[in-house]
Structure 1
Amino acid sequence: MSNQKESLPPTVPDPNNEGERTPSELAAKNRDLAIPAYLKQDEAPWSLAWKIVAGQVRSASNQIGRRLMRRTLRIGVSARIFHPEVGAKGLRGKTLQYLEESIAQWVMSRDVLVFMIPTVNNAGLLHPSNIRLRDYAKHLDGLVLQGGADVSPHSYSQAATRPEWSGDRARDMYELELLHEFIEAGKPVLGICRGCQLINVAFGGTLYQDIATDVPSAIAHVDDAYDSHYHPIHFPQGSSLAPLFAEHAEPLVNSIHHQAVRELGRDLAVEAVSGSDNIVEAIRYRKAPFVMGLQWHPEFHRIGTPGLLDCTPILDNFLRAARETRF
């Protein structure tokens, strides 16, 4: 029997501070560390494939979300309509659809893209199309209803008390459909002047056909000074506009309208009224994130005019709603 002791394998320090291990033990551990966890757990191939696909979907979704947030907003503006004059030649004998420059520039001042939304005529004999107004609501981020001609009394089941107050029924039908498509799509809407009145009519409200006639005690809401004619407004209790303009007790707004909200439509709230006669100056639809109408023209407010309301916070809230709802 030999007196020599059985030799032991050399040991080396374990870099993970788990004591000394032999080279073979360290090699085995390193092999284990190199094996992905899912292989060591004997995971089924279909489960592994599902995890890979799910990870790819999450990555693609995150990329799409980041691109959407970076994409410039696309805001639609309803068209003003010039109807052909009987017997006229040239452009006056054509139907024209157009934007007033100031409304486009006001919206674009916040670095967004503006698109005029034309009427659609699916039954047209000359240039038929399958495009619908709902397609614009699907692809645009928000809607501005610009001012213009009177809303027709027929749109709120009344007859015109004077011929010159008959309004534009064709434009009413186009914009009412447009309004409902954007609301249905969950997109924000901002109505200006006529657009404010149209929102009220869309929800069953009525209008004063002529303020001076229907409310003799009212102040003048239209004047030869046009967009330089101002009057004060105030925000009733509960108005969402009040916190935006807390420093303004009775700010001035321009006044270029002879019609106004009379009976308030369903699910609408009054956001602002005229300072002395309580004529409605702003409304909000309570069952949507942002559907608001302003009776004045914020796009005509000149920066630096003393006391004149800076409506940029309203525009910013509208655009914020557009960003939040475009997913």
Structure 2
Amino acid sequence: MPKDAPLRIGLSARLMHDPPAELGFRNKVLQYLEQQAAHWVMAHGAMAFMVPTLYKTSTVQRESVSVRDYVDALDGIILQGGADVAPESYGETALRPEWSGDRVRDLYEIELVWEFIIRGKPVLGICRGAQLINVALGGSLVQDIPSLLAGAIAHRDEALYDALHHPVQFLAGSRLAALYPGFESPLVSSIHHQSVKRLGNDLIVEAEGPDGVVEAIRWRGSSYVAGFQWHPEFHPRDPRLLDSSPVMQEFLDAAREARG
């Protein structure tokens, strides 16, 4: 592939295991890509490709194409938001049935994370994606912020959805602080009820909410791996929110460098 060819960025598929009957997919599983996530990539001159899961139910069903084939074809991966990470994926049981998460998607994305790391290609996690990175590297999660973290601010509001915002603080000396010089308390979107509890191996915290909830993490290893609890792909619609371009540009620069 020519070095100056557009970067090819994969986005892990969201899964809908039980689609509403009115969609016309009875007894089917849907895999889909959220539009703004793809447009965030495309707006910076890269091509966006959805990476479908290779799993069915709880067992691995290998077809003629493997995860490694996707990693070969792509320059980087973005893990989309969506359903909770299953507590089973970090050695716990769900404290409530509605927090049981999506184990099928977890297995698929954990394999993606490790294959991209092994190849030295960048990994970026959004919301659930940040939590998945933490779990893939051996960390754990708070299953429900409102009931388990005393004094926490609201991080999700069903009525407001992506209109819920709160400030974050970049940790001194972090890469995020360098990307956004002069930003003391930028506003970000917030659509989550789970968060990082125990940090995964070689991960560091780069941003926190006013209540101490982890808002951004980064791997200290040899390639780019970073996760953001907010949704930077939603930010271009609202000038009050933190500019999402520096984050995407850093990720794409890492992808270009990995391409060689």
| TM-score tier after normalising by the smaller chain length | over 0.9
The residue that corresponds to 1:130 in the other structure is 64
Matches within 5 A, 1:61-72: 68-72=2-6
- Which whole-Å deviations, capped at 9, do the CAs of 1:168-209 have from their partners, x for residues lacking one? 000000000011111111100100000000000011111010
The residue that corresponds to 2:186 in the other structure is 251
The residue that corresponds to 1:26 in the other structure is none
The residue that corresponds to 2:46 in the other structure is 112
1:281 is aligned, of 210, 215, 223, to: 215
Residue 213, structure 1, aligned to residue 156, structure 2: no
- Which whole-Å deviations, capped at 9, do the CAs of 1:134-157 have from their partners, x for residues lacking one? 111111000000000000000000
CA contact (8 A) 2:16 2:31 kept: yes
Closer/same/farther in 2, CA of residues 108 and 133 from structure 1, 3 Å limit: same
1:325 maps to amino acid: A
Aligned partners of 2:62 and 2:178: how far apart in 1?
A: 48
The residue that corresponds to 1:294 in the other structure is 228
The residue that corresponds to 2:253 in the other structure is 320
The residue that corresponds to 2:129 in the other structure is 195
CA contact (8 A) 2:3 2:259 kept: no
| 1:111 CA drift (Å) | 1.3
Q: Which has the larger Rg?
A: 1
The residue that corresponds to 1:161 in the other structure is 95
| 1:253 CA drift (Å) | 0.2
TM-score where L is the length of structure 1: 0.75
CA contact (8 A) 2:54 2:62 kept: no
Residue 240, structure 1, aligned to residue 171, structure 2: no
| 1:326 CA drift (Å) | 1.0
- Which whole-Å deviations, capped at 9, do the CAs of 1:284-307 have from their partners, x for residues lacking one? 01103210000000011134523x
Aligned partners of 2:23 and 2:123: how far apart in 1?
A: 37
Aligned partners of 1:244 and 1:189: how far apart in 2?
A: 18
Count of residue pairs brought into register by the alignment = 255
Aligned partners of 2:232 and 2:69: how far apart in 1?
A: 28
- Which whole-Å deviations, capped at 9, do the CAs of 1:210-258 have from their partners, x for residues lacking one? 0001102100000121111100001112211101111211100010000
Matches within 5 A, 1:33-48: none
1:319 maps to amino acid: L
CA contact (8 A) 1:303 1:310 kept: no
2:200 is aligned, of 260, 265, 268, to: 265
Closer/same/farther in 2, CA of residues 137 and 278 from structure 1, 3 Å limit: same
* Structure 2: segments with no counterpart, 5+ residues: none
- Which whole-Å deviations, capped at 9, do the CAs of 1:85-141 have from their partners, x for residues lacking one? 69999314211100011100011101111110011259xxxx973211111111100
Closer/same/farther in 2, CA of residues 280 and 94 from structure 1, 3 Å limit: same
Closer/same/farther in 2, CA of residues 154 and 304 from structure 1, 3 Å limit: closer
Structure with more of its chain in helix, by fraction: 1
SS in structure 2 opposite 1:272? strand
CA contact (8 A) 1:273 1:281 kept: yes
Aligned partners of 2:25 and 2:250: how far apart in 1?
A: 38
2:248 maps to amino acid: L
Give the number of the structure with larger relative contact order, counting CA–CA contacts within 8 Å between residues 6 or more apart.
2
Aligned partners of 1:169 and 1:186: how far apart in 2?
A: 26
* Structure 1: segments with no counterpart, 5+ residues: 1-66
Aligned partners of 1:87 and 1:324: how far apart in 2?
A: 45
Aligned partners of 1:216 and 1:129: how far apart in 2?
A: 47
Closer/same/farther in 2, CA of residues 86 and 76 from structure 1, 3 Å limit: closer
The residue that corresponds to 1:230 in the other structure is 165
TM-score where L is the length of structure 2: 0.93
1:257 maps to amino acid: H
Structure with more of its chain in strand, by fraction: 2
Residue 145, structure 1, aligned to residue 74, structure 2: no
